[in-house]
Every structure is written in C-alpha cells, then in structure tokens.
Amino acid sequence: MDSLFLLVPISLFLGLLGLGGFLWALRTRQYDDLDGAASRILFDDDHPRKETPK
C-alpha cells in the first residue's frame, strides 16, 4: 500500500497538468475557431511566401 503514496500524487499531478493545459488553451483562445483549426493542419505552407518586414 505504500506505493499509493507515490502513485496517487503522480496521477493527480498528471491530471492537473492536463487541466493546466486545457486552461492555457482556453485562455489563448484556441477554442474560438474549432472549424478553422481543423482545416489549418492541412495547409502546406504555414508562412506566407514573402519576407515579412518585421
């Protein structure tokens, strides 16, 4: 049963990591355009073909 003292915190930590990731994604507005995100992964060129003056 001692293993629980190690395993339970690990599982909780991993769960919280996932929750943290979800909150981050929500805050950076990644859930706002689900349809667009679904097709964006199919675009071949992520960056426009020109030198962007930054």
Partner 1 sequence: MSLIGRAEPLVPSAVSAAACAHCGAPLAAGQHRFCCTGCEGAHALVAGLGLDAFYRRRETEAGALRPEETAPGLDLAPFVTTDRDGTQRLELLLSGLTCGACVWLVEQALAAEPDVLSARASLTARQLTVTWRGEAARANDVVALLARLGFRAAPWSPACLRATEDAEGRELTLALGVAAFGSMNVMLVSVAVWVGWDMGPALRHALHWLAAMIGLPVVLIAGMPFYRSAWTAIRAGRPSMDLAVSLGVLATTAMSLSETLRNGPYTWFDGATMLLALLLAGRVFDRAARRRARQSVAELLALQEGVVSRLLPDGRMEAVPAENIAAGDRVLVAAGERLRLDGVADADALLDAAATTGESVPRTFAAGDSLPAGAVNMGAAFAMMVTAAAKDGSLAAMARLLERAEQAKGRFVAIADRASRYYVPVVHAVAALTFLGWWGLLDAPWQVALVNAVCVLLITCPCALALAVPAVQVVAVGALFRRGVLVTSATALERLASADHAVLDKTGTLTEGRPVLVPEGQDAGTLRRAAGMARASRHPLAQALARACPDAALAEGVREVPGQGLLAGEARLGSPAFCGLGPSADGMTMVFRDGDGAPVAFRFADRMRDDAPAAVAALNGLGLPAELLSGDGEGAVASLARRAGIPAWRSSADPVAKQARIEALKAEGRHPLMVGDGINDAAALAAAHVSASPAGATDLAQTAADLVLQREGLAALPAAIRVARRAQAIARQNIGLSLTYNVFAVPAAVGGLVTPLIAALVMAASSIVVVLNALRAGKE
Can residue 1 be called a binding residue for partner 1 (CB under 8 A)? yes
Can residue 2 be called a binding residue for partner 1 (CB under 8 A)? no
Report in angstroms how near the CB of residue 21 gets to partner 1 at its nearest: 10
Take residue 43 and report the two structure tokens written for it: 């675009």
What burial class does residue 46 get, using C-beta atoms within 10 Å of its C-beta: 0-12 exposed, 13-18 middle, 19+ buried?
exposed
Residues that bind partner 1 (CB under 8 A): 1, 4, 8, 11-12, 15, 18-19, 22-23, 26, 31-36, 38-40, 42-45, 48-50, 52-54
